[in-house]
Amino acid sequence: MIFLRALASLTRAHLLMFLRSRAALTWTLAFPLFFLFMFEFAFSGGTPRGATYLMPGLFTITLISGSFFGVALRMVTERETGVLRRHRVTPVPAVAVILSHGATALAVLVCSVTLQAVMARLVFRISVAGSAITLVIVLLLGGLALVPIGMIAGSIARDTRAAPAITNFLFFPMMFLSGAAIPFPFLPAWMQRFARLVPTTYLVESLQGVMVRGQGLGRLRGPLLVLALMSALGIGLNGLLFRWESTEPVRRGRVTLALSALLLICTGAYFLAPPLEMAQRPFR
């Protein structure tokens, strides 16, 4: 009971802090719309079919940015300003603090993706070839896979100067290698092979499967399994790497274990996941 009350209170407090921050609100609302209009006007060819083909990548970029930049910096800031230290002397368990950050990030992502989807439908007339429920499930699973990675970055970053460097180091490879920013068929063959190590590749593959190819959950079980494993592993690793104070050392052994576990999942996906259907040229 204490755990649930603490989780609800912390999540509510984080959401109120977010709503009171003009900079955070502007970034959350403007960033997805900026990418939406820039990509759609430049590359969709002015057709609903072209606009729909670009949406899986745009949704993925929104999920990556919201999962990494906001949550990582917020965790580091609370640790540096002593907020977490004050929580530590209360009955609030560490897992409640961790999950509250994750729940807040997911709530913000839901708002960002919903706004982007509504504008894409109204302005560019996108459509979903598959089930809307399947699309929602894929988006939620993508958020559950990416938010823990952003929280890991917030746990291992020493201060607010290191957090942006770590998140950018993760953000750009995941955006460009996955086919989110550049359509996957246009990537060189060697880059396509390397992209199979990147978890966001399987998010783009799943979103394209629903929106473009009209596939259901059964056909998407391979990439969705990768996302589910990343989510479960990421949540577990956050409990291992969480720090209450900036003075606590970042234990290299635990960081090495976390990186090894993530690499194991990515390597397994590389060898065991089915071929990527999005590698085929579109509109042939």
- Domain residue extents for the chain: 2-279
Q: If 0-12 CB within 10 Å is exposed, 13-18 middle and 19+ buried, where does residue 167 land? A: buried
Weakly modelled stretches of the chain, pLDDT under 50: none
In this predicted structure, what is the pLDDT of residue 221? 92
- C-alpha to C-alpha distance for 37 and 70, rounded to whole angstroms: 22
The encoded tokens of residue 130 equal 């598959």
User: What's the pLDDT score for residue 284?
Assistant: 53
pLDDT at 46: 80
Compute the distance between CA of residue 207 and CA of residue 215 in angstroms, rounded to an integer. Answer: 9
Q: And the tokens for 29?
A: 């609302």
Cα-based angle 128, 227, 233 (whole degrees, multiple of 5): 155
From residue 52, give the alpha-carbon distance in Å to each of 32, 45, 59, 263, 273: 15, 11, 11, 32, 25
What is residue 78's predicted lDDT score, i.e. its pLDDT? 86
